[in-house]
Amino acid sequence: MRHLKSVLALTLITCLCASMAFAVEGNSRKGKFLYRKHCRTCHGVNASDLSPSSKVQADWKKLYANMGTIPCQKDWGAISDADKKDIFSYLHEFAKDSPTPASCQ
Amino acid sequence: MSKTLQPAASTSLGNGYAMLIDATRCIDCKGCLTSCKVAHQVPPGQSRNWIKVKDSPRQGRGPGGTRQTVFQPGGCMHCRTAPCLDACPTGATYRDDEGVVQVDRARCIGCGLCVKACPYDARFIHATLHVADKCDFCTSRREQGLQPACVDTCPTHARIFGPVEEVLNAWQQRLAAEGAKPLEGLEMVRPVNLETQPVLAYVNGTSQADWPPKAEQPAAMNVLAGAGKAVYGLGLLSLGAVCIMGINALRERGQEKRETEDQQGERHD
Amino acid sequence: MTTSATSRPGRRAFLKGMVAGGLLAACPVQTAGAPSSAPVPVPTETVFTTCDMCFNRCGVAARVTGQGKERRILKLDGNPHCSKSRGMLCARGNAAIAMLDPAERLTTPLLRTGKRGENKWKSISWEEAYTLMADKLRGIARDHTPCGMLFTPGADTHSQFVKRFAEAYGSFNVTTHESLCLLSGHRAFMDTFGEVPQPDLLHCDYAVMLGANRFEALVMPDTADAMQAMRRGAQLIVLDPRPTKTARLANEWYAIRPGTDLAFLLAVAHVIIHENLYDRAWVEAHTTGLEQLAEHVRSCTPQWAAAETDIPAEAIIRIARGLAAAAPRSMIYPGRRTSDYVDSTQIRRAFAIVNALLANYDRKGGLMSTPAVALKGYPLDAPWYDHNQEDRVDAAMAPMLFKAEGAFVLTREAILAGKPYPVKGWFLYKTNPLGTAPDRARTLAMMEKLDFIVCMDVQLSDTAFMSDLVLPAPFYLERDDPYFVVQGGPAGPAVMTRSAVVPAPGQCKPAFEVMQELARRLDLADCFNFSLAELKARQEAGLPGLKEATAEKGLLELDVPLYGLRAGQPFKTPSGRIELFSQQYADKGLDPMPVYQTPAKAPQDRPFRLVAGRSAAITQSASTNNPLLFELEPGNTLDMAPEAATALGLRDGDMVRVTSSVGEECLRLAVVPGMRADTVYMHTGYGGLSPARKRVHGVGGSIVALQESAADAICGNSAIHTTYVRVTRHTETV
């Protein structure tokens, strides 16, 4: 138990220093919901079939840094900056080149 | 009195079915035990087959490729000169046209003589049916076009089964695939060279150090060991007939005597 | 003794009968008798399905007779068309048939009436069960947010529906059983190669297994392929403190000191790098960090490693050279269960790193990149709940937690502490933490903190036994499943499925149906707006030939390239290369390359390290009560070295008491020649709590009652090789 507690302490300290250096730092969980709500209504219906795995992480990051270049931006409506961050965080996390977790199978 | 069997000269596997077991492939996973048990509804605590272990675990490298541990699956050897056939008093045990040693459950009286006669300990008396039981090379499965349950299930394909020629061909192919030189004739196959001429053979130099177990021969069998079946039967029959006749004769004689005594009222010695 | 070729019953037998038993007229002459296999019934039909007795998912050919209520499975055989399983079925696959006996099964929902653990139950209807669950889940969501409900689905094709429900309900707390097993290895290989590879043992010429026990812990096709490879001359080297069957069948075995794998691997890397035994062009083209690695292992000499591992330096050098000479058809076998030490992720990083030096990635005989196979489905449009927690309850407890898997031992701590927020309910499907998670007492304590525990299983497992509501699930032979992908390494990927072969007993319901109905009761019907049949139809539509192949052969084997899949694309790592040196670890304050530490000495009063594993006849806790398997493994023993037993005055067969810092168990001792003197072993799945699992109830010892709880420092995976025990003779006190 003592051992476990020191492990926990260490990991908590570590987490405070940790940062996903190459990630987009939003809430990817919420981003999934928002993506479906705002983007999926067109993409995959009228517009190009876009999903997180359509691009590699570097490209999502680039796009997020230059949102003005995105052609459909005028159709977005009122999406807060926080929401945009969450959406790109989701797209980045599940991008084509994001590490592929395996399952038990 | 127990009898240890000596290796015989013949290496033939006959011309019916044969089973080759490469015990060096066996990992003792016991899949064959469970598969057989389910296929034949063998009662708890009993088994038609087994895996023997020769084991001396040692760190480092095995010398010159010799295995330190061998798991040796076994079962009825379907011998071409099967002691169980001779031991069976009712003929319930017989060898069918395909060379498979069978037990006719309707005929078996559960006397257990065949269990004692088998030098491989391959038989047992079925706990609920009270008849002799043992491997039958999965007769029913073969009729459905399936391999025997133990062969089919083995994860490392340690067993090869089928008509003798097919088995030997398959073994040749396997040797070739493994990069080993296929040998001529039957020398590549080294069956357990025992007097009973089994059709189950072990390959790849499986050790026979703890094989076979000592078999307990019934006393009647020992007295007539080496005699022909006809002689045996006839001899016993005549012996029995003589005994019966003898007993009858003595009885009759005694009866006559008493009648004579009764009639005469006195004995003349 | 001569015998006629066909000895037929007749006159001779008649006479013999008379002689033997004086039975003058007892043997009527008969025509040819029936062979020994009668009167076992003959199957009339073969139905293909997929085994579920372990994670392997071997193809099954069920031999069936009868229709409707009379339908019976007579035998389970391997599906000869299934390459992944090499057409075979192990003892457990064969023994599955025993689980169809209703006497072995849960058949109705059960509601606890007494206290937890009193074994007092009331059969209730599914209607009552749904009403209760909906009510409780609504209450927990209202009072504790949806994250107040923990979901633990086991390794099963219906688990995706439990996860789907959890997401729809709004709980982030999905903690799978993978965090008691796989995750350290997965973390390490993902962070090195960007994915988790499959080993190609079939074509490998030189493989080193550290702890993996493939001839007992069966993995298909690895087990069959390892034997096949050995038969053609491939070398298998095994490092294991126990003389496992794999160790005893290998070309070389060393009883490595537990906890020193990393020293061995660093020394191997040292030899390979400093003797220049690697493919420089390949390594430079595909990896990053070679220079740092070379410097890192400069002092990791074979002599140094020999002192740490108890493996002769000469052997370490020879093995390193053997690996290099056979490269790229050589490997450090990645293994499967990696839940060993608090630095297991780092240890497995060393596995991955040495493999990288062998230049075996994505190549025949090495580590295979995973072919991508996607099945169509119904995407989930889950609602978003503003009234919810920020993240999983264990999110901050490990720097590189797998978000979708969590870490059970960490989740448990969080629940016990009630921090960062309380979790009050638990839904389990087809998993048994009281049988498989270390420190059973701690799991019991965690359960005491929970208001509502639902456990869905086929039998009253220990966890179900301690739950509030128990739901009866069908066994795999009674169940329809969606299609699922099975990776087969050199056998290639396949798409498999299940269709019910026989009806389930009683009122068993599959998890899909239960989660769908529960969703409907919570106004989440949209999240399950399809039937299983519709899902399968969609999957079939998305993969031409799937339906036909399944009908004909029981599965679809995909004809896809198996090697050279990366085809020059970057690896899915931050650098795009295989990371010998991990910058992302460094950024998180973790060692960028694995750093070895001599294992701490055993405490004086507990000199033996307790290690875990299994035999080929059992999986984990679920299989041990199976009557056919129990016959093969009728309880467990504590395995101990002869010299250690002698020193304690113990003999083979003695009842012993095993004591750790968290528990005490009694079981029989088995003296095992070749075992390391400082190590003891016992099978998992015995010493059960649940009286319903009568064969293992109180029989043998429970390893989880003894195992101390520890977690991998990086991903939180369980660490179960950190327990020390003392062993004494157990004397009964009357």
Indicate the domain borders of chain C.
Answer: 110-179+374-472+507-533, 197-368, 608-729
- Cβ-Cβ contacts under 8 Å, A12 against chain C: 396-397
By Cβ distance, the residue of C172, C181, C588 closest to A18 is C588
At C319, the amino acid letter reads I
Among chain C residues, the shortest Cα distance to A22 is held by C574
**C26 has a pLDDT exceeding 60:** no
* Burial per residue of C529-565, b for 16 or more beta-carbon CB atoms within 10 angstroms, e otherwise: eeebeebbebbbeebeebbebbeebbbbbbeeebbee
Q: C486 - beta bridge partners?
A: C494
pLDDT in tens, C542-593: 999 999 999 999 999 999 999 999 988 999 999 999 999 999 999 999 999 9
Q: How far apart are CA C705 and CA C660, in angstroms?
A: 9
**Chains with 3 or more CB pairs under 8 A to chain A:** C
Q: How far apart are CA C327 and CA C305, in angstroms?
A: 22
pLDDT of residue C646: 98
At C331, the amino acid letter reads M
- Domain total for chain A? 1
In a domain, A10, yes or no: no
Q: How far apart are CA C120 and CA C112, in angstroms?
A: 6
Among chain C residues, the shortest Cα distance to B82 is held by C3
By Cβ distance, the residue of A11, A17, A97 closest to C572 is A97
- Cβ-Cβ contacts under 8 Å, C89 against chain B: 31, 35, 152-153
Q: How far apart are CA C636 and CA C701, in angstroms?
A: 7
- Cβ-Cβ contacts under 8 Å, A102 against chain C: 182, 186, 195-196, 370
Q: Per residue, what are the HEC states of C207-270?
A: EEEECCCCCCCCCCCHHHHHHHHHHCCCEEEEECCCCCHHHHHCCEEECCCCCCHHHHHHHHHH
pLDDT of residue B67: 57
pLDDT of residue A75: 79
pLDDT in tens, B115-148: 999 888 899 999 999 999 999 999 999 999 999 9
- Identify the band that residue C62 occupies on the pLDDT scale cut at 50, 70 and 90: very high
**B109 has a pLDDT exceeding 50:** yes
Q: For an interface test with A, which of C587, C606, C712 has the most A Cβ atoms less than 10 Å from its Cβ? A: C587
Residue A29 CA, chain-centre distance (Å), reads 8
In a domain, A39, yes or no: yes
B111: tokens are: 């006397």
Which DSSP symbol is given to A35?
I
Task: Find the radius of gyration of the CA atoms of chain B.
Answer: 25
pLDDT in tens, C96-119: 999 999 999 999 999 999 999 999
- For residues B195 and A93, which has the higher predicted lDDT (pLDDT)? A93
Q: How far apart are CA C61 and CA C55, in angstroms?
A: 17
Considering chain C, what is the average pLDDT of its residues? 93
State the DSSP H helix or E strand holding residue C611, giving kind and residue range, or none if neither.
strand C608-611
In a domain, A76, yes or no: yes
Q: How many residues does chain A have?
A: 105
Decide whether C110-179+374-472+507-533 matches C608-729 in CATH topology. Answer: no
| Burial label, B50 (beta-carbon count in 10 A; 0-12, 13-18, 19+) | middle
Provide mean pLDDT across the span B219-236.
49
Q: Does C24 touch chain B (CB under 8 A)?
A: no
In a domain, A5, yes or no: no
In a domain, A4, yes or no: no
CB B53, CB B28: distance < 8 Å: yes
Class of domain C197-368: alpha beta
DSSP, collapsed to helix, strand or coil, labels residue B64 as helix
Q: What ipTM, to 2 d.p.?
A: 0.92
- Identify the band that residue A12 occupies on the pLDDT scale cut at 50, 70 and 90: very low
Q: Does C397 touch chain A (CB under 8 A)?
A: yes
**C692 has a pLDDT exceeding 90:** yes
Task: Find the radius of gyration of the CA atoms of chain A.
Answer: 17
Shortest alpha-carbon distance between residue C732 and chain B (Å): 29
List, in sequence order, every beta strand (DSSP E) within chain B: 2-3, 17-21, 50-55, 60-61, 69-74, 93-95, 101-103, 124-125, 132-133, 159-163, 190-191, 200-202, 215-216
| Domain spanning C608-729, CATH architecture | Beta Barrel (2.40)
Residue A18 to residue C587, Cβ atoms within 8 A: yes
By Cβ distance, the residue of B92, B155, B179 closest to C218 is B155
Class of domain C110-179+374-472+507-533: alpha beta
**Chains with 3 or more CB pairs under 8 A to chain B:** C
| Domain spanning B2-223, CATH architecture | 2-Layer Sandwich (3.30)
Q: How far apart are CA C153 and CA C171, in angstroms?
A: 13
CB A36, CB A96: distance < 8 Å: no
Q: Does C413 touch chain A (CB under 8 A)?
A: yes
